[in-house]
Structure 1
Amino acid sequence: MMRRAVPLLALLAAGCTVGPNFLRPTPRTPEGWTRASLDAPAYARSRAVAAEIDRSWWTSFRDPTLTWLVTSAESGNPDIEEASARIAETREQRSIALAGFWPTLDAQASDTRLRISRNSPFAALAGGSPSAGGQPNPTQGAAIPTGPKPTLSIYQAGFDAAWELDIFGRTRRGVEAAGADLLSAERLLDNARLSLRAEAARAYLELRGLQARREVALQSVRLQRDTLGLTRSRAQSGFATEVDVANAEAQLASTEATLPQLEAQVTQAMNRLARLLGQDPGALSDRLTARAPQPPVPEVVAIGLPLDTVRRRPDVASAEAALAAQTARIGVATAQLYPSIRINGTLGLQSGNTANLFTAASRFFSIGPSLMIPLFEGGRLRAQVRLEEARQRTAAIAWRRTVLDALHEVENALAAYYGEQGRRAALMRQARAAQSAAALARQRFTAGLGTFLEVLDAERTRLNAQLALAQSAALVSTDLVAVYKALGGGWEPNPPHG
C-alpha cells in the first residue's frame, strides 16, 4: 500500500498550474527616430546619429571632475540606499513564498488538567462510574457516582507536521509573483542609479554655468568702475554732466546687485552636489570653488534605435516585471477556487502522569490527509480573481504608457538640445556684436564724439548678451544630459539577484 501511495503523492504534489502564463510583451516601436532628430539643423555643432550609445556617456564631456562626481555619486546617496533596502524587502518576500513548498514541523508540549462531568459516560476515565453506587438521579433515573472526582491530568509532548500539496500551483504562482516583484525592485534601483548619475552631471554643469555668469558680472563691475572713474574725470573737465555720473553709478550698482544672488546660487549648486553624494553642506567647496570652463559637448551623439532604447531603459523593464508579477497573482487567486489537500501528522508521548510519560507505552501517532473543497464564499473567491485580472490590465496599460513615454522623451530631449544650440549660436553673434558696440561707444565717449547714454545702453546690452550666452552654454550641456537619460543612459542592468 505504501509503495502505491508514494507515486500518488508525488503526482499530486506536481499537480498543474492554473492561471495564465506570462508572455513577454513586444513593444511597438518605430524602426528609427524621426528625421527631425537625425537631420540636425545647420547651426547645430553637435548632432545625433543612429549608432550604439556610449555606455560611459559622461566621459564625452572630457571633464575629470564631472567623471568623478558621476562615478562617486552612488557611494553615499540615501535614495540609492533606500532602493537597495526595498530590494532586501522583496527578496525576503520571495523567501516567504518559497517556504510554501516545504512542510511545517512544530514541537509542542502540554500539561492539561481536565475535569469530566460526573454524569458523563467518560467519568470512568477518572476512576468513577455513573452506575457504581450512589443515589439515583431523580430526573434521569441514573445513579450519581460516589467514587473519586472525575478529574485527570494529561501530559503530552511531541511533534506536529503538516504539508499542503501544491496541486493547482498556488504556491508556484506565488513564488513566480514574488520573483517578478524582486526583478521589478532591482530595475527600479537601476533607474534610481541612472537618475542619480544624470542629476549629478546636470547639477555640475549648472554650477559651471553659474560660475561663468558670475565671472561675466565681475568683469562688468570692473569695467563699469573704470567707466565711472572716467565719467567723473570728464565731468570735472566739463565734458560730462552730473547726470552722466549718476547714471554710471546706477549702472554699477545694478550690476553689483546681481553678484550676491549669483554667489548664493553657486553655493546652493555645490550643496546640491554634496547632497547627491550623501555629504554635508560645503563638503565639496574646496574641490568646486575654483572656476572651470563649461565642458564642451561632443560633436556626435550616438542614440541607437528606438527598440534599443526601450530594451535599455530600466523603468520599462520594471514595468514589464510588474506586469509579470500581476499575471502570476491571477493564478494564485484562481487556485483558491479548487480543492486543497493537506497531509497532517502527529508523533509524540502522552500519559496521565509524568512517571511513565517517557515509556514505550506512552507513544502515539496519527497521520492522514485532509481535503477542503470551497463550496460557498459569498462570491469572494471569484471576485478576487476578477480583481487580479483588472490589476493585470492596469499593469499592461502602465507598461505601454512607459514605452510610449520613453520614445517621446527621447524625441523631445533631442528637440530641446537642437533648439538650445540654435539659441546659443544666435547669442554668440549677439555677444560679439554687443562687445564691439560697447567698445566703440566707450571710445567715442572718451574722444568726446558720443554721449554717455550711448555707453550706458551699449554696456547694458553687452552684459545681458554675455549673461544669456553663459546660461545658454550651460543649457546645451544639461539638455544633452537629458538626452542621455532619456536613452537609458547606456545603462547595463545588473543580473537579477537570487
Structure 2
Amino acid sequence: MATRLLPLAALLLAGCTVGPNFTAPVPRAPDRWSRASLEAPAYARSRAEARAVDETWWEGFHDPTLTWLVITADQGNPDIEEAAARIAETRQQRSVAYAGFWPTVEANASDTRLRLSQNSPFASIAGGQVSAGGGGPPNAGQGLAIPTGPKPGFAIYQGSFDAAWELDIFGRTRRGVEAAEADILGAERLLDNARLSLRAEAARTYLELRGLQARQAIARQSLRLQRDNLGLTRSRFTSGFATEVDVANAEALVASTESTLPLLDAQVTQAMNRLARLLGQEPGTLSGQLAAPAPVPPAPPAVAIGLPIETIRRRPDVASAEAALAAQTARIGVATAQLYPSLRINGSIGLQAGNTANLFDTASRFFSIGPSLLIPIFEGGRLRAQVRLEEARQRTAAIAWRRTVLDALHEVENALAAYYGDQGRRDGLRRQASAARRAADTARTRFSAGLGTFLEVLDADRTRLSAELAVAETTAAVATDLVAVYKALGGGWQPGGAGPVATP
C-alpha cells in the first residue's frame, strides 16, 4: 500500500498553483496638490499651528450635538447594517471555498429492483446462473434474489459510506480561497467607506441646518426692522412727508421678506428629516432636539492634508477597488485550473445483499478505494472561454481601480478649491454686510430726520438683508466644504512631518 502511495505523494508535492499572482498596482499620483487648490495667502499659517486630524475629525468642530449625531448615525443607519451584512456574507463564502480542501463523506442506502429485458443477452446469463444443476460457476447466485423463468430480475439492498477527496494539485481551491479572502477585505473597506460617507453626510446636513436657522434669524430680524420702517413711512405719509409710493414700497419689502420665511421653515424641516433618515429614525423625531437655533460651529484652525499618494493609500474606496482586482485575478487561476487534470481519491465501504435476511452478514461487506484521474479533452471551448471571461473581468476591475484613483484625486482637488474659494467669498461678504448695515442705519436716520428719501432706505435695507443672508450661507458653506475635504482625504490624516497644511 505504501509503495502505491509514493507516486501519489510525488505528484502532490509537484503540484503548483496556476494562474497569475496578484501584484498590488502602483497608483499614479502627483507629488503634491496643485497650487490652485492650496494657495490661500490670506489664510496661510505655519505648519506648527496645524493639529492632527484623526478619524474623529468631527470633534474638531467642538459641537456636542454634531458629535452625538455622527456617533448615533453609525449605530442606527440601515446602509451601515447592510454593508456589515455583506461582510458576514463574504465570510461564509470563504468557508464554502475552504471546504474544498476537505474530503466529502456521504451515507447511502438503497433498495433497487431490477427487471432485465427478456431479449437481452444478460437475461439468459442471469437465468443460467440460478438454474438448478446448471453449469454456472459455484455459488453463482448466492446473495442475489434472481428469479428464473420468463421474467428475469432481482433486487439489491445496499447501505454504504462513500468518500471522495479531490487533491488541489493545480491550486483551484487555493485560488478560490484567495478570491474569497480578497472579497472579505473589499467588503470591509466598503463598510469603512459607507461609514465615512454617512459621517460626512450627517455632519454636512447638520451644518446646513444651522446655516438655515441662522438665515431664519436674520430674516426675522430684518422683518422686524422693515415693519418698523413701514410704520414710520405710514406716519410720515400721514404728516405729508412721504408719498403713497413710499408706503407701497415699504409694504412690498415687508411682503417679500415674509415670503422667504415659509421656504426657510420648509428647508429646516427637510434638513431635520434628512438627519432622522441618516440615523434610521422616523421623520420628525429630531425636531425637539434640533429646533432651538444654534450658530454654525467654527471650522478647526488648521488641517494637515498630507500628500496625494498618502491620500490614495488611505481612502477606503480605493482599497476596496484594489481588493476587487485581487479577487478577480485569483478567479483567473480558478478558471485556469479547470483546464488541467483533476485527481480524486474515491472510497466506499458498506453492505450489499440480494435480500434483507443476510444484508448484515459478514459476507455482505464490501469496500472499494482508489484514485481516479479526470482529464478534460473536449468541452466545446467552454473552459478556455471561461478563462478569457475572467481575464476580461480582471481588465474591467483594473480600469475601475484606475478610475477610482483618478476620481479620488479630483475629489480632493475640488474640495480644497471650494474650501478656499468659499473662505474668500465669506470674508468679502462679511465686509460687505458690515458696510451695508452702516449704510442702512444711516439711510434710516436720514429718512427719520427728513433729510433723505425712502428709496435710499429701501435700497440700503435690501442690500443689508442680502449681504447678511449671504454671510450666513457662506459660513455654513465653509464648514461643509471642510467636511468634504475630510471625506475626500479618507476620514482624516495624522501628519508625519510631511504634507501641506489646509487653513481657514
How far apart are residue 338 of structure 1 and its match? 0.9
Q: Structure 1, residues 221-274: CA drift from partner, whole Å, max 9, x if none?
A: 111111111111111111112221121111101100000000000000011001
Contact 1:205 / 1:474 at 8 angstroms: preserved in 2? yes
Tell me if the contact between 2:408 and 2:488 (Cα under 8 Å) persists in the aligned partners: yes
Partner in structure 1 of residue 65 of structure 2: 65
What secondary structure, in the 3-state scheme, does the structure 2 residue paired with 1:162 have? strand
- Tell me the CA shift for residue 26 of structure 1: 2.2
Q: Is contact 1:46-1:301 (8 Å) kept?
A: no
- The verdict on how the C-alpha distance between 1:360 and 1:132 changes in structure 2, with shifts beyond 3 A counting, is closer
Tell me how far apart the structure 1 counterparts of residues 195 and 219 of structure 2 sit (CA, whole Å). Answer: 36
Compare 389-398 and 70-79 and name the one that shifted more: 389-398
Who is 1:141 aligned against? none
* Contact in 2 for aligned 1:444/1:450 (Cα 8 Å): yes
Determine the C-alpha separation between the residues in 1 that align with 2:148 and 2:189. Answer: 77
Which amino acid is the alignment partner of residue 173 of structure 1?
R
> Which of these residues, 249, 255, 258, is aligned with residue 256 of structure 1?
258
Distance across 1 between alignment mates of 2:53 and 2:245: 60
* SS in structure 2 at match of 1:42: helix
Q: Secondary structure at the match of 2:41?
A: coil
Aligned to 2:346: 344
Deviations 1:392-449 (A, max 9, x none): 2222222122222212211111111000001101101110111111111100110011
Cα pair distance change 1:223/1:51, threshold 3 Å: closer
Q: What secondary structure, in the 3-state scheme, does the structure 2 residue paired with 1:341 have?
A: strand
Aligned ranges for residues 85-484 of structure 1 at < 5 Å?
A: 85-123=85-123, 147=149, 149-484=151-486
Q: 2-side partners of 1:181 and 1:71: how far apart? A: 27
- Quote how far apart the aligned CAs of 1:53 are: 4.0
> 1:464 & 1:126 partners in 2: Cα distance?
106
Q: TM-score scaled by structure 2? A: 0.90
Supply the AA of the counterpart residue of 2:191: L
Change (3 A) 1:356 1:277: same
Could you report, residue by residue, the CA deviation over 1:298-326 in whole angstroms, capped at 9, with x for unpaired residues? 22111122222111100111111111111
Cα distance change on mapping 1:185 and 1:11 into 2, 3 Å? farther
Q: Distance in 1 between matches of 2:283 and 2:125?
A: 80
After TM superposition, give the deviation of residue 120 of structure 1 in Å. 4.2
Query: What's the counterpart of residue 3 of structure 2?
Result: 4
Indicate yes or no: 2:27 matched with 1:27.
Answer: yes
Deviation, 1:387, is 2.0
Deviation readout 1:3-58 (Å, 9 max, x if unpaired):
23445434444521011111122223233323334432326799999985433211
SS across alignment from 2:332: helix
Over 3 Å counting, the alpha-carbon distance change for 1:60 and 1:46 in structure 2 is farther
Q: Contact between 1:107 and 1:159, CA under 8 Å: does it hold in 2?
A: yes
The whole-number CA distance in structure 2 between the counterparts of 1:389 and 1:398 is 14
Deviation digits for residues 172-194 of structure 1, max 9, x if unmatched?
A: 11111111111111111110000
Change (3 A) 1:31 1:372: same
**Alpha-carbon displacement from aligned partner over 1:438-478 (angstroms, at most 9, x marks no partner):** 11110011001111111111111111111111101010000
Structure 1 76/349 Cα, relative in aligned 2: closer, same or farther at 3 Å? same
CA distance in 1, matches of 2:472, 2:6: 79
The worse-fitting range, judged by mean Cα deviation, of 48-57 and 95-104 is 48-57
Question: Is the contact between residue 213 and residue 470 of structure 1 (CA under 8 Å) also seen in structure 2?
Answer: yes
CA distance in 2, matches of 1:249, 1:101: 84
Question: 1:33-88 CA distances to partner (integer Å, 9 max, x unpaired)?
Answer: 23334432326799999985433211111111111111221111011111111112
User: In terms of mean alpha carbon deviation, does 313-322 or 7-16 score higher?
Assistant: 7-16
Decide which moves more: 409-418 or 205-214.
Answer: 409-418
Residue 150 of structure 1 aligns with an amino acid whose one-letter code is P
How far off is 1:121 after superposition?
4.9
- The 3 A distance-change label for structure 1 pair 463 and 47 is farther
Greater shift in the superposed pair: 203-212 or 120-129: 120-129
Identity of aligned residues (%): 78
The one-letter code sitting in structure 2 at the alignment partner of 1:380 is: R
The DSSP-based 3-state class of the residue aligned with 1:378 is coil
| Structure 1 residue runs without a partner (length 5+) | 134-144, 493-498
Normalising by structure 1, report the TM-score: 0.91
Q: Which one-letter code corresponds to 1:391 in the other structure?
A: R
What's the RMSD between the two structures over aligned residues? 2.4
Code of the residue aligned with 1:452 in structure 2: it is: F
Q: How many residues get paired?
A: 480
Q: Quick check: 2:31–2:309 contact (8 Å CA) kept in 1?
A: yes
State the partner residue of 1:80. Answer: 80
What CA deviation, in whole Å up to 9, does each residue of 1:95-141 have, x standing for no partner?
A: 111111111111111111111234545447866669889xxxxxxxx
Alignment-mate amino acid for residue 59 of structure 2 = T
The separation in 1 between residues aligned to 2:368 and 2:212, in whole angstroms, is 80
- The residue number in structure 2 matching 1:55 is 55
- Contact 2:127-2:148 within 8 A present in 1 as well: no
Q: Which moved more, 1:40-49 or 1:370-379?
A: 40-49
Is the contact made by 2:87 and 2:184 (CA closer than 8 Å) also made in structure 1? Answer: yes
Counterparts of 1:183 and 1:92, CA distance in 2: 13
